[in-house]
Each structure stands twice: as C-alpha cells, then as structure tokens.
A and B are shown apart, each in its own frame.
Chain A
C-alpha cells in the first residue's frame, strides 16, 4: 500500500462522512481492484469469482457486525439514500398511510413528499425542541387509523439525539405496520444488534460511522417483508427470466456492484468488530468534552440533548451573534478545522428545533480525533465567538 501524507486538517465532519479511514479499508479496496477486478456474479473465471467472494465475505462481515443472522437479507446499495428510497417506494402504495418523525433527513422527507403527491398519506409526528420523538405520541398517531409504516431515524444528524427504536417497533408491529429506520448516524457510533432491535427495514451509509468508503450503503430487509425493487437489470444469473429474480440479495442489486467499495466496507466492518467498543468509548468522551467546553462560551447554544444525556457523537451549536457560515469559514481558513454549517439536508429537523432560519454549525466526532483536537476546536471557537 502506498504511503500518502494526509492534509493537515482537524476533521470534525464525521456526521457527513468519516475521514480518514483505517488503513485496512484502503488496503482492501486496493486488493479488490488488483486481485478481484472481475465482474462479481458474472462469469466463472477466477477474477470474477474472486470479486464474488470479496462481496460474499464483506456481506458476512457487515451482517456479523450488525447482528443480521441471514446475510442474504443485507443488500448493498449506493448509499443510505438509495436504501431508504428502495424501502419507502418499494413498500408504500397510493392510499397507504405512513407515520414519520419530524426529525427526518431529506433522504426520507423528499421521497415521502413525492409519494404524498401520488396519494400516500404522510402524517408527521413532531419531536420536541431537542429532537426527541415521544413514543406515546407515535402510538397515538398510529392508532388514529390504519398505518402501513412507521419511519424514524435511529439518531439525528442535527442534534445527535437517539430515538427509542425498540418502542417504535412494538408500536408499529402491534398495529400491523412495519418499522423503517434510517440508521445513517447510528451505525458504527452505536452498538447495533438488528436481531433484537425490531426494525423491519434498517438503512445506513457505509461511509459515516461504519468507516467504509463513499458510494456504498446497506439495506437490511426483514424476511417478513417484500418491497418491490426499484431497479431491474442484470443479476448475473437467471438471465433467461424476463423479470428480476426474487431471490435475495440479487433482487435488489441489479447491475454491477461497487466491488472496491464493498471490499472497503467489509474491511471497516471487521475493524469495528474488533475496535468498535474502544472507538465508541473515545467518541463518547470527546463528545462530552466538546459539549462541556461549548457551554462555557458566551452566546453559544448547544442543540439537542443536555450534557450527560446519551447521544451519538454529533454536537451542533448556534451563536447569538456570529452566523454559522461565518464560524465554519473561519474554522476552515484560520484553523484548519472542518465542520459543516447550514441545514444539513434536514429542514424538517431544523424547523422542529427552531433553527430553520439560522441553521447550525455541526461538529461530528469520530475515528482519528483526539482530546487535543477537541481542545483546539474549543480554543478556535472561543476566539471566533469573542
């Protein structure tokens, strides 16, 4: 593996995408290109079979990390957005009703807005000012009339709040509905066991907390559900059949897969299976350190859960006088610190917590950051907000 000098950046944008990646991820991707460069599932020559084995092993590694007992139920997608689109558009038909939280990302909101125009009934359950979605309110909404699906994030990309997914699963199932979960901000940052969580659908990015490369995501589908596939095409086998094969995972993976990306995700899943607990403990410490430090900066308001309450490693702030875009620009230009300002593709969430007009500055914590980095960010913020 070639050695590269990384740019001198203090990277606090892990909620957008993690950076850097563990060396094992880069190594696996390079190996896939060099030694498994055939088309997976297409042909029986050794390079094609090597590609197929790479994907099989990666699927097993991700399934093992997330507690998926049958790897066939874990589909590789181009990302969490595609995974959510498959679930939402594959499950909901005109006339169906869906109960969804007001904290959702546009990866959920925009498909639902489109479906609403086509006759799907979308009822939004409002979260509180910190982003918490109350299970009792969800239960009442589901009880109002027949519901096909409940959709909720596992954790917020704006406030870091963690939602009570187990409660939502019980509520949905008692009403005969399915639970669709957007796990983009949870996987990797939380220990997740899908064999007990209760989600019928769980979608996530591969490139955020899972530490894989961009361009790959995952979609878990319970064996009990049968969403339509969004894309039809080559699957490598059953070519004589006029329609997409129904067997998983082929049904949902038409076209040539992103073998290098999947190889990288498999490697990151194996990395997290070994080092995940250690990394999560560090993320928790750094998140609390940053949050506590922010509380001492005059005029700065921390969004989301109060200090000490459980959250994923996302801390977003708003200053009473200095605009968020100004803060992000100064952090990058003067201090080499990467954050993200704005609405974070989540206007519903910002409207819910009262920051639709101001946006917020989001610090996402993850792999590679240290306590010194947090202290450097706090010192920079004190100067910028002085």
Chain B
C-alpha cells in the first residue's frame, strides 16, 4: 500500500456504548461523517467502540459533542487507509 493512501483521522473514545452511540446520532444529525470502529489501543482501552472522523472534521465534531453534552473519554490522531 502506498504511503500516499494513508489519511489522518481523529478517533474519539467514550466511557460507554450508550455514550458512543449517542455521539454517533448527534454527529449524524449534524452531518459530520464518521465511522464506528473498535476502540484503538492508542486510546488506552482494548474494547468498546469508538468513532472515527476525518481530521478536518474533528473541530466540528468536538463542538457537536459539547453541545450534546456527551463527554469523550479521549481522542487520538491515527493514520488509516
């Protein structure tokens, strides 16, 4: 795979599945593109689900989560294909 194909994403972790899916619903309503994925090790946990958004959309995503009152347990920048 070419390194040019790698794109930066921000992945958000959550304390519970309820929070993660509430966040998913809020982001979808706000038309922020996302992908549900297993929580990556970089977030300090090995289970649960996380939400991945394009790096360029991360500020908008953070704003949506703040307005919805949903706290992320952490976020990290990852490179994916």
List B contacts of A71 (CB < 8 A).
Answer: 18
Can you sample 5 A-B contacts with CB below 8 Å? Answer: A44-B50, A240-B46, A247-B19, A249-B16, A250-B17
B22 interface residue, CB < 8 Å from A?
A: yes
CB within 8 Å for A44 and B45 given contacts A237-B15, A245-B15: no
Q: Give min CB distance, A48 to chain B, whole Å.
A: 8
How distant is the Cα of A238 from the Cα of B16 in the complex, in angstroms?
8
Contact of B18 among A42, A43, A44, A250 (CB under 8 A): A250
Q: Mark A223-257, 1 if CB is under 8 A from B, else 0.
A: 00000000000011111100001010110000000
CB within 8 Å for A44 and B16 given contacts A53-B21, A236-B48, A238-B45: no
Q: Mark B13-32, 1 if CB is under 8 A from A, else 0.
A: 01111110110010000000
Q: Which of B4-60 contact A (CB under 8 A)?
A: 14-19, 21-22, 25, 36-39, 45-50
- Whether the pair B17, A40 counts as a contact (CB closer than 8 A) is yes
A31 interface residue, CB < 8 Å from B?
A: no
Q: Give min CB distance, B74 to chain A, whole Å.
A: 12
The 8 closest A-B pairs by CB, nearest first: A237-B48, A41-B17, A44-B38, A44-B49, A56-B21, A247-B15, A239-B47, A250-B16
How distant is the Cα of A238 from the Cα of B73 in the complex, in angstroms?
11
For B35, the closest partner residue in chain A by CB is A44
For A56, the closest partner residue in chain B by CB is B21
Known: A44-B36, A237-B48, A249-B16. 16 other contacts (CB 8 A): A41-B16, A42-B47, A43-B49, A49-B21, A49-B49, A52-B49, A56-B18, A56-B25, A72-B18, A235-B16, A236-B17, A236-B48, A237-B15, A239-B47, A240-B46, A249-B18
CB within 8 Å for A59 and B18 given contacts A43-B38, A44-B37, A44-B38: yes
Q: Mark A57-95, 1 if CB is under 8 A from B, else 0.
A: 001000000000001100000000000000000000000
List A contacts of B45 (CB < 8 A).
Answer: 237-240
How distant is the Cα of A59 from the Cα of B50 in the complex, in angstroms?
20
How distant is the Cα of A71 from the Cα of B25 in the complex, in angstroms?
14
- Total contacting residues, chain A, CB less than 8 A: 22
How distant is the Cα of A56 from the Cα of B24 in the complex, in angstroms?
11
How distant is the Cα of A52 from the Cα of B21 in the complex, in angstroms?
8
Q: Give min CB distance, A237 to chain B, whole Å.
A: 3
List A contacts of B38 (CB < 8 A).
Answer: 43-44
- Whether the pair A237, B22 counts as a contact (CB closer than 8 A) is no
Q: Give min CB distance, A266 to chain B, whole Å.
A: 14
How distant is the Cα of A240 from the Cα of B46 in the complex, in angstroms?
8
**B→A interface (CB under 8 Å):** 14-19, 21-22, 25, 36-39, 45-50
Across chains A and B, the number of contacting residue pairs, with CB separation under 8 Å, is 62
List A contacts of B16 (CB < 8 A).
Answer: 41, 235-237, 245, 247, 249-250
How distant is the Cα of A43 from the Cα of B16 in the complex, in angstroms?
12
Q: Give min CB distance, B8 to chain A, whole Å.
A: 20
**A→B interface (CB under 8 Å):** 40-44, 49, 52-53, 56, 59, 71-72, 235-240, 245, 247, 249-250
List A contacts of B46 (CB < 8 A).
Answer: 239-240
List A contacts of B18 (CB < 8 A).
Answer: 56, 59, 71-72, 249-250
- Whether the pair B15, A236 counts as a contact (CB closer than 8 A) is no
Q: Give min CB distance, B76 to chain A, whole Å.
A: 16
Q: Give min CB distance, A60 to chain B, whole Å.
A: 9
How distant is the Cα of A239 from the Cα of B45 in the complex, in angstroms?
8
List B contacts of A236 (CB < 8 A).
Answer: 16-17, 47-48
How distant is the Cα of A236 from the Cα of B18 in the complex, in angstroms?
11
Q: Give min CB distance, A267 to chain B, whole Å.
A: 18
| Max chain A Cβ within 10 angstroms of own Cβ: one of B14, B19, B39, B47 | B47
List A contacts of B14 (CB < 8 A).
Answer: 237
List B contacts of A56 (CB < 8 A).
Answer: 17-18, 21-22, 25
List B contacts of A59 (CB < 8 A).
Answer: 18
For A52, the closest partner residue in chain B by CB is B17
For A241, the closest partner residue in chain B by CB is B45
- Whether the pair A237, B47 counts as a contact (CB closer than 8 A) is yes
